Amino acid sequence: MPRPDVDIAILGGGCAGLSVAVRLAAAGRSLRVIEPRETYCEDRTWSFWRTARDPFEDCVRTSWTTWDVTGPTGTVRRASRDLRYQTVGAGAFYDRAQALIDDTHGAELCSGTAAHDVHETPHGWRIDTDAGQLSAGHVIDTRPPRRVPGYGQFFLGREIRTERPVFDPGVVQLMQFRPARSAGVDFVYILPYARDLALVEVTSFAPRSPGRNVFEAWLQEEIDLLETGRHEVLREEHGALPMQVGFHDPSPDGCIRMGLGGGAARPSTGYAFTRIQRQADLVARALDQGHDVPAALDGPFSRFMDRVFLQVIQTVPDRGPALFESLFRNTASDRLERFLSGSIHPADRLSVMTSLPVLPFLRAALVPA
């Protein structure tokens, strides 16, 4: 029987592809990551509440113990003695992943190469790439989704250095809700790295993006309101994350789908980094032990809760700011943050459920859209 070129071919070298690659490389599996980008840059940040260890803890840029949400009735400030809200810069993440792959025999990152057709053969898989054909025992497809979700998180952000010290570096402003500029729920998000340095981002939870022109004008207005004096734009990031229960890109039977196209973004929030790390753990463990890869990150009850919450904010988006404020105001300390990070503990779920008004969620639960 012909021996494949590698045990595992990983299509896409973004967050999901590199996360699973470093775990499989550490387990001694031969692999190749096929990535169309020739070089990496500081193109985004990933933020999350730290609830578990991962190989990229050295890449954390900043941690916070306090965060705010500002809704219709005022600002809710939450703090934690145990949890840290952390941000990982893409540049440090990419450098760390490439170093771990380069230091492992049998693991290779092929940048500047795109994967095209994928075919199952009697002896594994054949992948057509810009550099020729590659054979592998397993294929993990982490490329961006090819289909458009019915609802998503859309954002534009700029990291700025300001003339005046206008930021509080001890408090993340998670959500400052604004009058809607999209067909959904709109807010401003600020990650303060120092008194004169922050990522300022405008975000829409909506069925479609309001468009680049709307985002640029809105973001500039928000920066002007900060009264920064002169400011320097250090970098920009933008993106779209699926917020849809059960969102998966179609893939051939037996091909493992990971990342945003494999349901890694939390349907009700768009949080993805922690879920990608969990997904990478599950996939690497299953391949190492010869088990089937779990089909989904979430169980039925988690999917039900996400579906109900999304249905309410899609049906009555003008109530979205009040609902998010209620979540952060009424849920017990740490329980909401653990739930948003993937906790399925009954006490965390119950605390979240009882923090919200009953009627709209009961209606959504009984009458799915």
User: Are 5 and 135 contacting, i.e. CB atoms less than 8 angstroms apart?
Assistant: yes
Residue of 226, 49, 9 whose CA lies nearest to 138: 9
Contacts of 297 (CB under 8 A, 6+ apart): 263, 264, 275, 278, 279, 282, 342
> Which sequence spans correspond to the domains of the chain?
6-61+87-147+244-289, 152-242, 300-366
Predicted local confidence at residue 1, as pLDDT: 53
Say which DSSP state 135 is in: E
**pLDDT of 290 strictly over 90:** no
CA distance 107 to 31: 5
CA distance 72 to 162: 28
State whether residue 10 is helix, strand or coil.
strand
CATH code for 152-242?
Answer: 3.30.9.10
What are the tokens at 183? 């067909």
Distances (CA, A) of 142 to 66, 107, 262, 287, 290: 33, 17, 8, 16, 20
Please give the backbone phi and psi of residue 307, each rounded to the nearest 5 degrees, phi first.
-65, -45
Say which DSSP state 266 is in: -
pLDDT confidence bin for 294, thresholds 50/70/90? confident
Please give the backbone phi and psi of residue 107, each rounded to the nearest 5 degrees, phi first.
-110, 135
Element (H, E) at 66: strand 66-71
CATH code for 6-61+87-147+244-289?
Answer: 3.50.50.60
Predicted local confidence at residue 251, as pLDDT: 80
Tokens 């329980």 correspond to what residue? 335
Predicted local confidence at residue 250, as pLDDT: 81
- For range 117-123, the mean pLDDT: 91
Q: pLDDT of 166-215, one tens digit each?
A: 999 999 999 999 999 999 999 999 999 999 999 999 999 999 999 999 99
Same fold yes or no, 6-61+87-147+244-289 and 152-242: no
CA distance 157 to 215: 9
Residues 221-232 as b/e (b if ≥16 CB within 10 A, e otherwise) read ebbeebebeebe
Predicted local confidence at residue 253, as pLDDT: 82
Tokens 């939390």 correspond to what residue? 266
Three-state SS for 246-261 is CCCCCCCCCCEECHHH
**pLDDT of 164 strictly over 80:** yes
Q: Which amino acid, 59? A: C
Predicted local confidence at residue 2, as pLDDT: 73
Predicted local confidence at residue 246, as pLDDT: 86
Q: Give the pTM.
A: 0.94
Task: Give the burial class of 361: count Cβ atoms within 10 A of its Cβ; 0-12 exposed, 13-18 middle, 19 or more buried.
Answer: middle
Predicted local confidence at residue 106, as pLDDT: 93
Predicted local confidence at residue 48, as pLDDT: 96
CA 236 to chain centre: 17
Region of 89 (left: φ > 0; alpha: ψ -120 to 50; beta: rest) is: beta
